[in-house]
Structure 1
Amino acid sequence: MTTTAPAPTAPKPVEPGAAPPVPERQSLSRWIPAAAVVAVWIIVWTLTKGNDTLALPGTARTDLHDRLTEFQNDLLAGRATNPVMQFTNSIADALRGAVEWLQKMVVLPSFPRPVPEIGWLGVTALATYVGLVVANWRIALLVLGSFLSFGVFGYWQDSLDLLIITGISVVIAVVIGLPLGVLIGTNKRANAIVTPVLDFMQTMPTFVYLLPIVLFFGIGPSAAVVSTLIYALPPLIRIAGFGIREVSTTTIEATDSAGQTYWQRLVKVQIPMARKTIIVGLNQTTLAALSMATLAAFVNGPGLGKPVLAGLRINDVGTAFVPGALIVVMAIMLDRTTTAASERAEKVARGGGGNVRVRRAMIIGGAVVALVCIYLSRTYVSLAEFPTYTIGDKVASGVSDGVDWFTDTFGGATEWIKDLITNQFLNRTQALLADSPWWLSFIAIAALAFVFGGVRALVSTIVCLAGMWYFDLWNDAMKTLNMTLVATVLVMILALVFGVWMARDRRVDLGIRPLLDAGQTIPPFVYLIPVLALFGPSRFTAITAGIVYAAPAAIKLVADGVKAVSPTTIEAGRSTGQTTWQEITKVQLPMAKGSLVLATNQGLLYVLAMTVIGGLVGAGALGYDVVYGFSRSEAWGKGLAAGITIVLLGVMLDRITRAAADVRRDDGPTTRRAFNIRLPIGPPR
């Protein structure tokens, strides 16, 4: 998110050869007490390290964890009589029935009818026709190629299962989210009530949804749909509400003067004028749904996530690569389709849309072809069940061989990088955070929160730290915090280097930005595959996956922030003879501090969102605790406690960075202009 700040006043002329003007830096003084807190922390740590760390050996559980597990067992035992469980059971049955009906229509040959109601040819033709209707012929070809790739690589059923889960979730999200978006867009009181709920939903890491959802909805398709819905709902509500609020007040007043009612204003003015923004929200919701539907493999949700998870569990990159690549293909297909639909809706609303006769002929002809294909796929078995191909197996084998060659050839270099980061950064900072007595880390973190964010950040931090202590996972929380902070530092280094480069060179921006857009389209689960191939299972692997996931958003925020610095200010500095380095460090970066803080905030939360996924590849700590709670019923309570602890960690980091931005906003005229933004909670969807 970026905003256009008012242009700063140009600095006073400086004599030739004199030092260039330096923006005000009132916030620099905060680093002095912060350094003092860290120094005292290190001194006390050297005398007390290893004491009262609250570390649990291995898979040990505490009484609190066992009580949470007993709570789950009691709910499950009373499933037949508990009204809440009966209600959730009925929802689960309805969702399961919807998924199975669609599977019967397009996928599974195991139902009473020997082939699907609509075979692969009919499904492919129908999807291609939808792409033509909502967008254009180019999108139709993209959809056609994507669907054919699902079958050619041997994952037709898993791909359609993933689309079914995603589609049902998006439809329900639209039914629920669009009215809520309209409500918060037209009612300030409703906006004040709903926004904190959306904040909480977007702060919570995705895996944390799954434990309570399994409790109330069981495992399988119903749990997959519910978890996907919860994850995908906030973007549509937020963006639709924003679009409706942004409708010109002049337009509304002009139409109100004609005596229109509330519903007429909403249906004929606000929603049509916010159509493009609403479709952007639908795009974000669709991609979020696809991402979560992939992760739903952990609760036995059908789809491509299952073979990816199977490959990761046995550390077979080749097995995980092919379905992972198909997930990327599906994400690109959905992203481009919804984006093109948004652009077409805008053109039609403005009276464009190309040659109407040609398009009408294409739509009618496409409908005829689609109906013929559906008829053929219902008539001939060979056109109902996708032929068996071995291309996927060959590609998987080739990828495995390539990974083996790469690791044999460059294993020394990758191992050196891993050891360098682990020994010089991870181990050192973890020793301070996790090996300190819990009370020392508690006090030190609270003090740093107060230094950077003031009283507001201090209160939130104390509450969150107290929650981490209460749930008996303090040591694991500190290890997770350590990995998150180290990864965020590396993310911000990349963001500064590439963001400034993009902002200062338009050709670099044009070359890198499409790669960043593609990186944000890929579901996070898929990032583990290449990283695991390079570094094997370890903490560093999890951190690297988090960096790859978080870097695109941070780089774009820094680039946009630096690019927004007033050209007048830059030219005034150049007139004094300052060097490129001085221009970057003394003008552009200080003036873009708001974007830097926003990038840091988003980088932290993106990295934290990968915590549990990283637990699959040796990250340990809270990520492993959640995964362990999934895999062992007797450890469900520990998994839930770990999930809640991750939420507390995310809320604490988010509140500190937001409060730090607000404090800096009041530091002076320069920083007040730079920080004229409001930080969102959680990674943008």
Structure 2
Amino acid sequence: MARSSTPQPVEPGAPPPVEEHTSISRWIPATVILAAWIVVWYFTNGTQTLSLPGTSRTDLHDRLTEFQNDLLAGRDTNPLMQFTNAIADALRSLFEWIQKLVVVPSFPRPVPEIGWLGVTTLATYVALVVASWRIALLVLASFLSFGVLGFWEDSLDLLVITGISVVLAVVIGIPLAVLIGTSRRASSIVTPFLDFMQTMPTFVYLLPIVLFFGIGPSAAVVSTLIYALPPIIRIAGFGIREVSSTTVEATDSAGQTYWQRLVKVQLPMARKTIIVGLNQTTLAALSMATLAAFVNGPGLGKPVLAGLRINDVGTAFVPGALIVVMAVMLDRTTTAASERAEKVARGGGGDPRVRRGLIIGGGVATLVAVYLSRTYVSLAEFPEYSIGDRVASGVSDGIDWFTDTFGGATEWIKDVITNEFLNRTQALLADSPWWLAFAAIAALAFVFGGVRALVSTIVCLAGIWYFDLWHDAMITLNMTLVATVLVMVLALVFGVWMARDRRVDLGIRPLLDAGQTIPPFVYLIPVLALFGPSRFTAIVAGIVYAAPAAIKLVADGVKGVSPTTIEAGRSTGQTTWQEITKVQLPMAKGSLVLATNQGLLYVLAMTVIGGLVGAGALGYDVVYGFARSEAWGKGLAAGITIVLLGVMLDRITRAAADVRRDDGPGSRRAFNLRLPIGPPSN
């Protein structure tokens, strides 16, 4: 008779059920595959690696470049190009109109302009209305810092690009969120597109967008919109879908129409979740708008990129710090707006008379400030005085002192990890014959994710082979896997520590939240200062970027383990180490898999951006495609290859998580995640 998979009841005070040791069985075939791979690699090392010397291109890359040239040549007659040109012109005109309205002073004015005093006061007033006086002070301080540090126009340009993109994301995203929140069929159709958009690293959006929308503000808005759209669709759709079915049925019984149910019940009850989606979309838009400096997008990304190109950390630091200030300002404002909306919906929100007085008084002050800034040049154009140069000089001096004092230590760390880990694993992945690496990766995907992961992996690996960048893809994959292992080590250490000690959680979580608001581009600045341009710099930046999300996921998963189970184990005399390794981590496997999945994708995105600081491989190929028109095809092929890598890693980790859930914790096929990722060699 087959054994039932239903969990058996546990007597009070009895120890928790112990997982069968056969749960580690998946690592046995994985170890065999790796051993066979190493043996074959030993005899075939360096052959058939499909390595391209230097900046060489293949016929496929040149054909892709010809495709671009043909499209550009037919820009005036091709219907698709005419359509995208019209969109680009409209977005460029909108940006220039708003830019003249709030940024560019010119006397006498050909168009209405608000000026710096009016803009600052208006932004402060909006924060007061939607949030609170504390947030209003934060916004005021943030706007003043833009001017005091000498980047007023760049800061406003970045805000304008972000604002246009967020408005368009809301206009497009909310109807789609309603659609997937009220229709399972629509959700099944839309969700794969959202998965694809979020799996694709940010850098990869830019090449095809430049082809169809050119460079400048229009390309910046379109790329930012595409990247910022999925969060609001997913989160708002989830909020609408989670509205109590009992409430919906009760209101339906009163005879309301579809639109009445949506407007009067579902949207109001999902208000808080929708604003959370707006928060995430805003931060995503800021991140991508910063990266759009690569396509001549206006804003603070330009001076950051200029500093990185000449390896001048001081020059890049000030605009990078202002990007962080802007991210914190937008994050806190939208979060406070969400909390206030919830309080108002519940009848709270403080004394209405006091708030009404503040709003009326603030409105009058704002009108006066706008009038003054339209009347006096000194109140329209931010004063020339700036401390930005002194701050940049001080940072450069500080970095020089640090590298002179601790350069030996940082160089030692870089050499140890590069020589002992990075070079060894790269030798196996990148120096194996392509067919050997193909077969080994596919076999490992099958071991950890089953048939579904195997099919996805074969399709993605075949695509990587087709686009003639196999060797560079394996180097990028190697950097991603090494960085993810280090991310998961940090996630396990700090996540378990946070889950077991509330004071540690209260101390570390705000730092993690702040880390997640910083656009990835900014992480390159301090890491470049410490380690100089190299593969290792890109890996460290990826670790710093990915660690906050992974740590929080592990902490929340371990914290969610039943207290009853933990107490039962303690009653048997378990040590702290036994409790962590035999109870908490095994029961939080789902969170560990999710943390690994997110860590992989975050690291991959940052490894690509690391092409700017000496990471080489696919990241460099994409950057090279931007810089040289004749290499556009190679850059596009590299971008598509990065997407294929991301999809492959995403599908393997997701399939591994699904296998674990389907099999149950005590099954022979259960997937033990005490080790962080699939291929243990990397």
TM-score (norm 2): 0.96
Q: CA deviation at 1:666?
A: 2.7
Whichever residue aligns with residue 193 of structure 1, its letter is I
Contact 1:27–1:664 (8 Å) recurs in 2: no
Structure-2 separation of matches of 1:356 and 1:655: 52
Matches within 5 A, 1:201-600: 201-600=197-596
- The one-character-per-residue Cα deviations of 1:392-430 (angstroms, maximum 9, x if unpaired) are 000000000000000000000000000000000000000
- The one-character-per-residue Cα deviations of 1:114-143 (angstroms, maximum 9, x if unpaired) are 897111000000000000011111111010
Q: Does 1:68 align with 2:49?
A: no
Flag the 1:14–1:290 CA change in 2: closer, same or farther, 3 A.
closer
Whichever residue aligns with residue 99 of structure 2, its letter is Q
Q: Does 1:185 align with 2:168?
A: no
Whichever residue aligns with residue 446 of structure 1, its letter is A
Structure-1 separation of matches of 2:102 and 2:532: 38
Contact 1:10–1:568 (8 Å) recurs in 2: no
Contact 1:542–1:615 (8 Å) recurs in 2: yes
Question: Which residue, 156, 159, 173 being the options, matches 1:160?
Answer: 156
Contact 1:24–1:668 (8 Å) recurs in 2: no
Structure-2 separation of matches of 1:532 and 1:47: 38
Contact 1:210–1:227 (8 Å) recurs in 2: yes
Flag the 1:360–1:670 CA change in 2: closer, same or farther, 3 A.
farther
Contact 2:663–2:669 (8 Å) recurs in 1: no
Structure-2 separation of matches of 1:480 and 1:119: 47
Find the residue that maps to 2:505 and give its secondary structure: helix
Question: Which residue, 604, 609, 622 being the options, matches 2:600?
Answer: 604
Q: Which stretch shifts more, 22-31 or 99-108?
A: 22-31
Structure-2 separation of matches of 1:498 and 1:535: 24
Q: Does 1:119 align with 2:115?
A: yes
Residue matched to 1:3: none
Q: CA deviation at 1:389?
A: 2.2
Q: Find runs of 4+ consecutive structure 1 residues off by over 2 angstroms.
A: 6-15, 20-27, 109-116, 666-675
Whichever residue aligns with residue 431 of structure 1, its letter is A
Structure-2 separation of matches of 1:305 and 1:324: 8
Q: CA deviation at 1:10?
A: 3.9
Q: CA deviation at 1:663?
A: 1.2
Number of residue pairs aligned between Structure 1 and Structure 2: 666
Alignment identity in percent? 88
Flag the 1:524–1:672 CA change in 2: closer, same or farther, 3 A.
farther
Whichever residue aligns with residue 184 of structure 1, its letter is I
- The one-character-per-residue Cα deviations of 1:634-653 (angstroms, maximum 9, x if unpaired) are 00000000000000000000
Structure-2 separation of matches of 1:370 and 1:243: 35
Question: Which residue, 620, 626, 632 being the options, matches 1:630?
Answer: 626
Contact 2:279–2:331 (8 Å) recurs in 1: yes
Give 5+ residue unaligned stretches, structure 1: 1-5, 676-685
Find the residue that maps to 2:349 and give its secondary structure: coil
Structure-2 separation of matches of 1:196 and 1:43: 39
Residue matched to 2:676: none
Structure-2 separation of matches of 1:84 and 1:578: 67
Q: CA deviation at 1:26?
A: 4.0
Contact 1:593–1:674 (8 Å) recurs in 2: no
Q: Does 1:129 align with 2:125?
A: yes
Q: CA deviation at 1:109?
A: 3.2
Structure-1 separation of matches of 2:616 and 2:11: 52
Whichever residue aligns with residue 30 of structure 2, its letter is A
Structure-1 separation of matches of 2:136 and 2:566: 46
Residue matched to 2:77: 81
Q: Does 1:618 align with 2:636?
A: no
Structure-2 separation of matches of 1:109 and 1:250: 56
Whichever residue aligns with residue 550 of structure 2, its letter is A
Structure-2 separation of matches of 1:244 and 1:553: 25
Flag the 1:77–1:351 CA change in 2: closer, same or farther, 3 A.
same
Contact 2:20–2:668 (8 Å) recurs in 1: no
Structure-2 separation of matches of 1:506 and 1:233: 35
Residue matched to 1:33: 29
- The one-character-per-residue Cα deviations of 1:548-597 (angstroms, maximum 9, x if unpaired) are 00000000000000001111111111111111011111111111111111
Residue matched to 2:674: none
Q: Which stretch shifts more, 116-125 or 392-401?
A: 116-125
Q: Does 1:648 align with 2:644?
A: yes
Whichever residue aligns with residue 397 of structure 2, its letter is D
Find the residue that maps to 1:610 and give its secondary structure: helix
Q: Does 1:23 align with 2:11?
A: no
Structure-2 separation of matches of 1:14 and 1:81: 77
Residue matched to 1:173: 169
Contact 2:372–2:379 (8 Å) recurs in 1: yes
Contact 2:23–2:670 (8 Å) recurs in 1: no
Residue matched to 2:3: none
- The one-character-per-residue Cα deviations of 1:597-630 (angstroms, maximum 9, x if unpaired) are 1100110000011122100000000000000000
- The one-character-per-residue Cα deviations of 1:466-505 (angstroms, maximum 9, x if unpaired) are 0000000000000000000000000000000000000000
Contact 1:10–1:572 (8 Å) recurs in 2: no
Q: CA deviation at 1:111?
A: 8.8
Structure-2 separation of matches of 1:252 and 1:440: 56
Structure-1 separation of matches of 2:64 and 2:383: 49
Contact 2:660–2:670 (8 Å) recurs in 1: no
Give 5+ residue unaligned stretches, structure 2: 1-5, 672-682
Find the residue that maps to 1:576 and give its secondary structure: coil
TM-score (norm 1): 0.95
Matches within 5 A, 1:35-54: 35-54=31-50
- The one-character-per-residue Cα deviations of 1:160-203 (angstroms, maximum 9, x if unpaired) are 00000000000001100001000110111111110111011001
Contact 1:591–1:674 (8 Å) recurs in 2: no
Structure-1 separation of matches of 2:446 and 2:290: 39
- The one-character-per-residue Cα deviations of 1:279-336 (angstroms, maximum 9, x if unpaired) are 0000000000000000000000000000000000000000000000000000000000
Question: Which residue, 645, 648, 665 being the options, matches 2:661?
Answer: 665
Whichever residue aligns with residue 606 of structure 1, its letter is Y
Structure-1 separation of matches of 2:271 and 2:104: 37
- The one-character-per-residue Cα deviations of 1:219-263 (angstroms, maximum 9, x if unpaired) are 000000000000000000011110000000010011111111111
Contact 2:105–2:115 (8 Å) recurs in 1: no
Residue matched to 1:678: none
Structure-2 separation of matches of 1:200 and 1:492: 24
Contact 1:37–1:447 (8 Å) recurs in 2: yes
Residue matched to 2:675: none
Residue matched to 2:97: 101
Q: CA deviation at 1:24?
A: 3.4
Q: CA RMSD in A?
A: 1.8
Find the residue that maps to 2:663 and give its secondary structure: coil
Whichever residue aligns with residue 320 of structure 1, its letter is A
Contact 1:8–1:670 (8 Å) recurs in 2: no
Q: CA deviation at 1:27?
A: 3.1
Contact 2:453–2:652 (8 Å) recurs in 1: yes
Residue matched to 1:683: none
Find the residue that maps to 1:666 and give its secondary structure: helix
Structure-2 separation of matches of 1:402 and 1:346: 45
Structure-2 separation of matches of 1:614 and 1:112: 46
